[in-house]
Every structure is written in structure tokens, then in C-alpha cells.
Amino acid sequence: MRGMNGVGESLRESAVFNFAGAVTMVIDDSPFALELTTQAILGFGIKVRHACASASEAIAILRDHPVDLILVDCEMPGMSGYEFVRWLRRSGLEPNAFAPVIMTAAHVRRSKVAEARDCGANFLITKPFSAAVLLERIVWVARDARPFLEVGDYFGPDRRFRSEPWEGLERRSEEIRKAEFEAQRRASIEL
Amino acid sequence: MTVITHNRRRSRLSTLIDQPGGVSAGVALAQAKANLAEMEARSRAVIEEKVAALAALQPATSIEEASRVLDQAYDHSSAVIDAAGPFELTDVCVAAANLCDLIDAAPEDRPFDWRIVTVHAQALRLLLTLPVEAAEARTQVLASLKDVLKAKAPGAAQSD
């Protein structure tokens, strides 16, 4: 069985958690989908503080209010969920720029797959999903200890989920530089 | 490429989750299911409304109109998945997702075969009216929709 940080892990029925004080925001242009999400997470003890029908409405709130968890629909008219998350991560707002974000989607267009991966969300859940999957993902993002990375256009949690060592040639320039520095340091000591 | 690593500060959510009190996963899920159960009848009404809207859509009469009408069909189909998702209407979700895949894979330089939308709207209506025990009929409906996907968008069918 995978550990508590494993993606895809099923929660034990007896696992206890407390989200009572979490300031939560849900963004969905569909009033019914928004209510479904709100009612599901209310069952988990999470009261939605900010229910927003658009990204622009959410942005106005995020500028002034710290939020602990954001659930946002991917496809919305005007600013999409992907564009919203990208804005959030680059917003410089403390602590909101680093807030855990779960995206939800009924369907992800093929042209949007890269955007979904690169916008900076912690997790994307595709529908249909059960309440159990939603709860599992919320617990998972709460325990998500990945560092935030800034790489080119990307700003968000480290997208690498696997921690197994890579057995091939090292290709990361940062690691190559570290190895070179270490080799030079050792050589200087031996001299 | 330069990589800047921001050491992760513990989010407030990660602190809150382990505070004393709270609920067990079993209780939380039971509460969530009870909350959602109260919305099931409305969900059904929303699905029927979206399927009716899908069936009422007319094919585009000009190239300029084509993408707008297809986007509407895509939105209706997505809304069906949104509303059906939490209620174990898996076959309804599969049928709606099939249409989303087909619209998503539609080539922009060729007119969209509108029969695809009509067939999916009819299939969704049928799935909503079939009794729960008609498993074989449901499987046949979904298989025929999957055949449409394979024929019209082999790439999307493979990635399924």
C-alpha cells in the first residue's frame, strides 16, 4: 500500500482530519456544478467562504483575503481556470500565490492538456468523480510537500511525482553544475 | 534553463488538517453522500434540460457559425457530465464524454457531421429512460457510440 503522500491512495475510513477552519473558495460558472461541489465538501466539514461564478470575481477577493484551498473549474467563459491559476501563481500575493489549487473538469480538450499540466495547479480531477475521490485529493493537497518551482514560464508545485532515482545520464543542468562543483572541490582538497 | 526552487512553506491547510477534532473519512463521506442525495432530483432535471438543449441545436449554416454551434454542443455535453458525475450515472457520463471527444477532435477545415450530435442526444435520452436492469441495452448503446468515435476520430478512441 502506498503511503499517505501517494497519489491514488484510498483513505482509511477511520482516518481523521479537520478542515473546519479552512477558508475555501470554489469557482465555477455553472451554478449547479458549484452547488454540487459546495455540498460535497460541506460533508467533509469544509464550509465554502467564497463561491465565485467567474475568475474575475475570485481575483477581486484574492487580492484582499487569504484563502487556504481553491477549487476551480477548468472551462469557464472569459478567463478560463487554467488562465486563472497561471495568474494566481504569478500574482505575488502572499500567501495566496502558494495556495493549494484543485482543478475540476468534465472534459479536457486535447489542446488544453499541456495547459492543464503547466498552469501551476496542484491537481486536476476529471469528472465524473465520487465524493471519495474529491476527499482523497483534498487530503492529498493538504499534505502536498512538493516545493514550488520557477522554470521558464512555469511557476507552481514541482510536477514530478515520482521520487525514484533516475538511472540514466544526468540531464539537469543544475545537477550537472553541482556535480562539477563537487568534483572541483574534491580535486582541490586532494591537491 | 534556470530553475528557481521556492522552499515550500507549510500551507495553513496542512496545519489545520491535523488540528484536534474534525471528522473521520467514513463520516465525512456519509455526510457528503447525504448532502448530494438531496440534489439528485435536481441533477436529473438539469441533465434532461441539457440533453433537450443539445437535441434542439441546429447545424451551422456558415463557417463563421460552425465553431460557435459546436462550442455550444460541447458545453451542453460537458454540463451533462457535471450534473451526472456524483450520481453514478456512469453510462450517461461516458456517452457525453464521447461527444466531447468527437467535437474536440473535429477537423477545422471540414464541416462537422451533425448526425453525430443528433445520435448522441438520442442515445442520452435513451440511457435516461432505460430501466436500471437493462444493462445489456446500455452496453449496446455505448458500444455504438464508441464505434462512431473510432470511425470519426481514431486518435481520440485510441487514447480513451
- Structure confidence at residue A8 (pLDDT): 44
Mean pLDDT, residues B5-21: 84
Q: What residues of B are in contact with residue A95 (Cβ under 8 Å)?
A: 9, 11-12
Q: Does B41 touch chain A (CB under 8 A)?
A: no
Output the pLDDT for position B23. 94
What per-residue confidence (pLDDT) applies to A162? Answer: 66
The mean pLDDT of chain A is 88
What's the grid cell of residue A66?
A: 487569504
CB of A145 less than 8 A from some CB of B: yes
E strands, chain A, are 16-17, 24-27, 48-52, 69-73, 101-105, 123-126, 148-151, 154-157
Contact at CB, A18 and B21, closer than 8 angstroms: yes
Indicate the pTM of the whole model. Answer: 0.85
Residue % of chain B over a pLDDT of 90: 75
Burial class (CB in 10 A: 0-12, 13-18, 19+), A30: buried
Enter the C-alpha cell of residue A68.
487556504
Domains and CATH numbers, chain A: 24-157 (3.40.50.2300)
ipTM: 0.88
B61 to chain A, minimum CA–CA distance in Å?
24
Residue B157: the pLDDT is: 63
Sheet holding A101-105, edge to edge: A48-52, A24-27, A69-73, A101-105, A123-126
Reduce the DSSP state of residue B78 to 3 states and report it.
helix
Work out the pLDDT band at A191, boundaries 50, 70, 90.
low
As a whole number, mean pLDDT of residues A85-108 equals: 95
Distance from CA of B110 to the nearest CA of A (A): 18
Read off the pLDDT band of B98 (50, 70, 90). very high
- Strand A24-27 and strand A48-52: the pairing is parallel
pLDDT of residue A17: 93
pLDDT above 60: residue A4: no
Higher pLDDT, A130 or A1: A130
Whether B23 and A130 lie within 8 Å, measured CB to CB: no
β pairing state of A101-105 and A69-73: parallel
Q: Which is nearest to B32 in space by CA: B42, B44, B23?
A: B23
Digit-coded pLDDT (tens) for A133-174: 999 999 999 998 888 888 888 988 887 776 677 778 888 777
